[in-house]
A and B are shown apart, each in its own frame.
Chain A
Amino acid sequence: MILNLFNRLWIRLRPVYSHYLIRRIFIGVLVLIALLIGPNVIQQILLRGTLSKYNLVEDSISVSAHKAKLQAEIVKLDKKLQAKIPANYYLVINTAENEFQLYKKTELIKQDKCSTGSYTLLKNGDQQQWLFKTPKGEFRIQGKTTSPVWKKPDWAFVEAGLPVPAANAVSRFEYGVLGDYALSLGQGYLIHGTLYQRFLGLPVTHGCVRLNDENLELVYKSLTTGSKVYIY
């Protein structure tokens, strides 16, 4: 049946095929098909040959014993992984999206906007430079304060185009700009409030994490000294 079909097709095609140009095109198409399919066919044959030896049938008793052992091991591992999650409150801060999440174990307590480092590299000539970036990783709350006072570092004066005063000059101390509470992450980085609430959700800080008043109070009351803060 199929041979008959091919025979009839060939009788029809033969006059066309005999034409020089058509013959060339036909050969070209055949070569192209061979180029496209040939290497794939060879690849599949070799892969099948290599993979076929892995289709082994194993003893059903040993398989069930293995399964039981593995299931028990997986349960153990799950427990160990669960134990890694802090049991108390912890804070997760996303610096790319300027968002924070407050968790208690796996329960999400609060998710809202915050502000993190602006990634500005401030250059003061060739001598000094500061990168305003929020550090990433795992941190712990080092200390908590109410009504914090901001002791302005040198860059605050350089950035404002002002001369840098002495270390304990009165002009270094600003009251009320950090909100009602501040939580220290160490190395001068704080979680604090802000006067510029319209910038929340934007990367505008000098490395600290800014929250609005309501969120700052919640975070302050939830986290204790030693609580974990994850910044990414």
Chain B
Amino acid sequence: MKTWNWCTNHLLLALKYISINMTRYLTYAFVGIVFIFLIYRKMGPVAELRRLEKSKLLDSLSQDFYPMATSDLAREFAFKKELLDQTQSDSIGLVINLNDSTVSINIHGVTLHSTKMSALAVDSWLTRLPDALYLHQYATSTSIGSVRSTIVKEPIVVRDAPKDPEEAAVNAYEPDTLIQNPAYLQFVLESNLQLIIEQDSGNTWLETTTRYKFFSAMYWHEFKTDLKGFLTFSQPSYTPSVRVKLPVSDMRSIYRALPARPVVVVNWSE
């Protein structure tokens, strides 16, 4: 009995010791994994830069065509060349010019609608990008790969045909386009650039909650993508972003005017 008590006491002590150490080791392991994951996330821009370098080496045309030391002119030239190319398209195209802070839509060289940005934020990664890589990746026109929006593109209202004139007279309705939701848009371009367009007012409760939902969904999606990449040991991804604020009516006009896959031209200088 004495031996039994001694054994159980020592076993319990050993278990307690192991559990204390286990908790400590698990904490260290968790902190370590979080640290590695954070480093993994931060390696996205570096990996993207190296990917651009690799693809640029394959594209000898852009190296020959653009002189490197005339930064602003080379960028302006590339922008105007793309605008001219955009005129060949039969659908409405989007032009984001960060130099004069305008967003416009064009068709066949005619500007249909243009609006001034009230605020603008460009990722520092983009502003630090050398001309050679900028001209290779972002100076050419691209199209929109995916869209996320808080407003509908076509506010279609379904109505059933009335059975008689009396029912038709009762069926008077308010057009749905008058119901205006707060507008937040995210365009992910095929050149791996995301354009985030926000409405420039945002003080009401509805606007604040819509904004919060929109951005939390966006960041959650980014986190999930990174976590999936981390767990599957794939290269970290990174999509640089340009965030602009526009008057809400202009946002609606531009968004509703764009076809499913519009041609997009983006321009900025260093």
A residues near B (Cβ < 8 Å) are: 31, 34-35, 38-40, 42-43, 46-47, 50-51, 54, 56, 58, 62-63, 66-67, 69-71, 73-74, 77-78, 80-81, 83-86, 90, 92, 94-97, 118-125, 131, 133, 136-138, 158-162, 202-204, 228, 230, 232
Task: Give the chain A neighbours of B35 by CB distance below 8 A.
Answer: 34-35, 38-39
In whole Å, how far is B185's beta carbon from the nearest beta carbon of chain A?
14
Task: Give the chain B neighbours of A40 by CB distance below 8 A.
Answer: 42
In whole Å, how far is B81's beta carbon from the nearest beta carbon of chain A?
6
Task: Give the chain A neighbours of B73 by CB distance below 8 A.
Answer: 66-67, 70-71, 74
Which residue of A is nearest B124, CB measured? A47
B residues near A (Cβ < 8 Å) are: 31, 34-35, 38-39, 41-43, 45-46, 49-50, 53, 67-70, 73-74, 76-77, 80-81, 83-84, 87, 90-92, 105, 107-110, 112-113, 125, 128, 130-132, 154-168, 175-178, 249, 252-253, 256-257, 259
Could you jot down 19 A-B contacts, CB within 8 Å?
A: A39-B38, A50-B53, A54-B132, A62-B67, A63-B70, A77-B77, A77-B83, A78-B80, A80-B84, A96-B177, A119-B154, A120-B159, A121-B159, A131-B156, A136-B257, A136-B259, A138-B110, A161-B162, A202-B175
Q: Which of B39, B161, B167 has the most CB of A within 10 A?
A: B161
Bound CA span A58–B71, Å = 12
In whole Å, how far is A94's beta carbon from the nearest beta carbon of chain B?
5
In whole Å, how far is A180's beta carbon from the nearest beta carbon of chain B?
26
Pick the residue among A38, A120, A230, A232 that contacts B39 (CB under 8 A). Answer: A38
Are A92 and B112 in contact, with the CB atoms below 8 A? yes
Q: Which are the 3 A-B pairs with shortest beta-carbon distances?
A: A84-B109, A232-B257, A54-B130
